[in-house]
Amino acid sequence: MATSQLIFIFTAAILWASVSSHPGLNTSGGWESFRNFSGCHTGDHVSGLSSLKKYLYHFGYIPTSPPSSNFSDDFDDAFHTALLTYQQNFNLNTTGILDSLTLDQMVRPRCGVADVINGTSTMNSGRSKNKNERRLYTFFPGTPKWPSSKRELTYAFSTQNLVIQIQVMRTIFRRAFDRWAAVTQLTFTEIDSYITADLRIGFFSGDHGDGEPFDGVLGTLAHAFSPTNGMFHLDAAENWVADGDVTTSSSRSTAIDLESVAVHEIGHLLGLGHSSVEDAIMFPTIAAGTRRVDLGADDILGVQKLYGTNPNFNGTSSSTSEQERDASTNGGTARVLTSGAHVVMLCCFLGWLLLY
Ligand SMILES: [Zn+2]
Ligand SMILES: [Zn+2]
């Protein structure tokens, strides 16, 4: 009996360690300095808070900017309102305070496309909906999409500033486009001509002429425009991981999985906006060192609303192994792994009781 007890304790200890040793990823650069505002609330005057106002303005949460974008450092009512909408969109407690969970979300690398466009929130809080109703996909204002005469889309890469080998790019983007083609009646074909392609993919640095300058390592990672613009820009400064496992990258704190970002931005090219569903491809943020490439049910419903269903679509979009890998690395889905480990621990405990 003593031996069986020891085996149980040892097994439980290993399992507990495996569950507990999933560290929060430390990111550097980007918006990490926002953490200095932890605990701030209405009425505070905090040096540098204007930078967070610019952030919320950029992503649509503050509708207008003062002249020359000279935001004050006052935690005023407009900022409070913006913060509440942000917290609702990201399924956070709507405290109206810059609490740690809100700041954890704000400092994450993310897509440069706004969450709120033209003053209308394009994301919805999952908490205000029926829990079984997870259709939180969104479209751009006016629901722009590729016309019915244009179901065979072409894409091309800009050869300027190409920071990833072209053959690797081709492989990554072929897989990314195939994920969307598998669930719709759209097809995607690579062509050589960047000028004439429907969808044009390239790497850019800093201010590159479209009013959406990139910001260096982390922060905004990429952006893409709604139909039928076709432009898809990646921040050349990122530590892109294209042909390796981002979850084991030696520089994991800044490593960004190219395929994950590609699948997300293609969603924008097709007309999808951001979703409040954390497991959806169209969720706006992705932590460094993580991978999220499988379309979620929310993404599939949204894109099929625009373009119909692929007759060969069987209702699933991913392999189990991919889901498991995501669950072990993505903060939003790590709970899946944790729950599984708890089940194993319970089985060990029951086994020990039987032996006893
Ligand atoms: Zn986006
Ligand atoms: Zn751009």
Residue 241: pLDDT band with limits 50, 70, 90: very high
Which residues are within 5 Å of ligand 2 (an ion), measured at CB?
210, 212, 233
CA 209-214-220 angle, to 5 degrees, is: 140
Distance CA 286, CA 222 (A): 12
Asked if residue 29 belongs to a domain, the reply is no
Ligand 2: centre distance to CA 234 (Å): 8
* Radius of gyration, alpha carbons of the chain: 22
Asked if residue 31 belongs to a domain, the reply is no
Q: Please check whether residue 112 is in contact with residue 144, taking contact to mean a CB–CB distance below 8 angstroms.
A: no
Which pair of structure tokens corresponds to residue 340? 């599984």
Asked if residue 115 belongs to a domain, the reply is no
Question: Which ligand is closest to the CA of 220, given by its number?
Answer: 1
Ligand 1: centre distance to CA 340 (Å): 31
Distance CA 89, CA 129 (A): 12
DSSP string covering 206-273, please? S--SSS----SSSSB-EEE--TT--EEEEETTSEEE-SS-GGG-TTTTTEEEHHHHHHHHHHHHHTB-
For residues 153-179, average pLDDT: 97
Asked if residue 128 belongs to a domain, the reply is no
Q: Which domain holds residue 46?
A: 38-107
Whether residue 56 has pLDDT greater than 60: yes
The pLDDT of residue 314 is 84
**What's the full length of the chain, in residues?**
356
**55 with 190, same domain?**
no
Whether residue 111 has pLDDT greater than 80: yes
The pLDDT of residue 105 is 97
**46 with 92, same domain?**
yes
Mean pLDDT, rounded, of the chain:
83
The pLDDT of residue 133 is 55
Ligand 2: centre distance to CA 43 (Å): 36
**188 with 229, same domain?**
yes
Ligand 1: centre distance to CA 230 (Å): 14
Distance CA 194, CA 157 (A): 6
Which residues are within 5 Å of ligand 1 (an ion), measured at CB?
111, 113
The pLDDT of residue 136 is 86
Measured from the Cβ of residue 39, the count of other Cβ atoms closer than 10 Å reads 11
For residues 81-108, average pLDDT: 96
Q: Please check whether residue 133 is in contact with residue 126, taking contact to mean a CB–CB distance below 8 angstroms.
A: no
**182 with 241, same domain?**
yes
Asked if residue 241 belongs to a domain, the reply is yes
Question: Which ligand is closest to the CA of 233, given by its number?
Answer: 2
Ligand 2: centre distance to CA 18 (Å): 41
Q: Which residue out of 152, 265, 322, 324 is catalytically annotated? A: 265
Question: Which ligand is closest to the CA of 109, given by its number?
Answer: 1
Residue 130: pLDDT band with limits 50, 70, 90: low
Ligand 2: centre distance to CA 202 (Å): 9
Distance CA 315, CA 177 (A): 18
For residues 71-92, average pLDDT: 96
Distance CA 51, CA 66 (A): 13
pTM: 0.80
Whether residue 327 has pLDDT greater than 60: no
Whether residue 345 has pLDDT greater than 50: no
Q: CATH number for the domain including 283?
A: 3.40.390.10
For residues 199-212, average pLDDT: 97
For residues 78-100, average pLDDT: 96
Q: Please check whether residue 183 is in contact with residue 313, taking contact to mean a CB–CB distance below 8 angstroms.
A: yes
For residues 24-51, average pLDDT: 83
**185 with 78, same domain?**
no
**99 with 53, same domain?**
yes
Ligand 1: centre distance to CA 111 (Å): 4
The pLDDT of residue 188 is 98
Whether residue 321 has pLDDT greater than 60: no
**250 with 204, same domain?**
yes
**319 with 346, same domain?**
no
φ and ψ at 256, to 5 degrees? -120, 125
**170 with 306, same domain?**
yes
Total count of domains within the chain: 3
Give the residue from 88, 107, 126 where a domain finishes.
Answer: 107
Q: Please check whether residue 260 is in contact with residue 292, taking contact to mean a CB–CB distance below 8 angstroms.
A: yes
Whether residue 346 has pLDDT greater than 60: no
The pLDDT of residue 36 is 95
Residue 57 CA, chain-centre distance (Å), reads 19
Which pair of structure tokens corresponds to residue 10? 């040892």
Angle between helices 77-89 and 49-58 (to 10 degrees): 50
DSSP one-letter code for 109: -
Question: Which ligand is closest to the CA of 283, given by its number?
Answer: 1
The pLDDT of residue 27 is 40
Active-site residue, 265 included: yes
Asked if residue 296 belongs to a domain, the reply is yes
φ and ψ at 202, to 5 degrees? -160, 165
Distance CA 356, CA 353 (A): 5
For residues 101-117, average pLDDT: 96
Instruction: For 145-163, write each residue's pLDDT tens digit.
Output: 999 999 999 999 999 999 9
Ligand 2: centre distance to CA 258 (Å): 16
When comparing pLDDT for 174 and 317, which is higher? 174
Question: Which ligand is closest to the CA of 231, given by its number?
Answer: 2
Ligand 2: centre distance to CA 223 (Å): 6
Whether residue 306 has pLDDT greater than 60: yes
Residue 68: pLDDT band with limits 50, 70, 90: confident
Question: Which ligand is closest to the CA of 215, given by its number?
Answer: 2
Asked if residue 101 belongs to a domain, the reply is yes
Which pair of structure tokens corresponds to residue 237? 């400064």
Whether residue 291 has pLDDT greater than 60: yes
Query: Which amino acid does the sequence have at 177?
Result: F
Give the residue from 73, 90, 107 where a domain finishes.
Answer: 107
Distance CA 130, CA 286 (A): 25
Is residue 171 classed as helix, strand or coil in its secondary structure? helix
Residue 30: pLDDT band with limits 50, 70, 90: confident
Lowest mean pLDDT among 13-22, 86-95, 229-238, 243-252: 13-22
Ligand 1: centre distance to CA 12 (Å): 41
**44 with 87, same domain?**
yes
**342 with 251, same domain?**
no
The pLDDT of residue 40 is 95
Asked if residue 77 belongs to a domain, the reply is yes
**212 with 271, same domain?**
yes
Query: Which amino acid does the sequence have at 277?
Result: V
Give the residue from 52, 72, 107 where a domain finishes.
Answer: 107
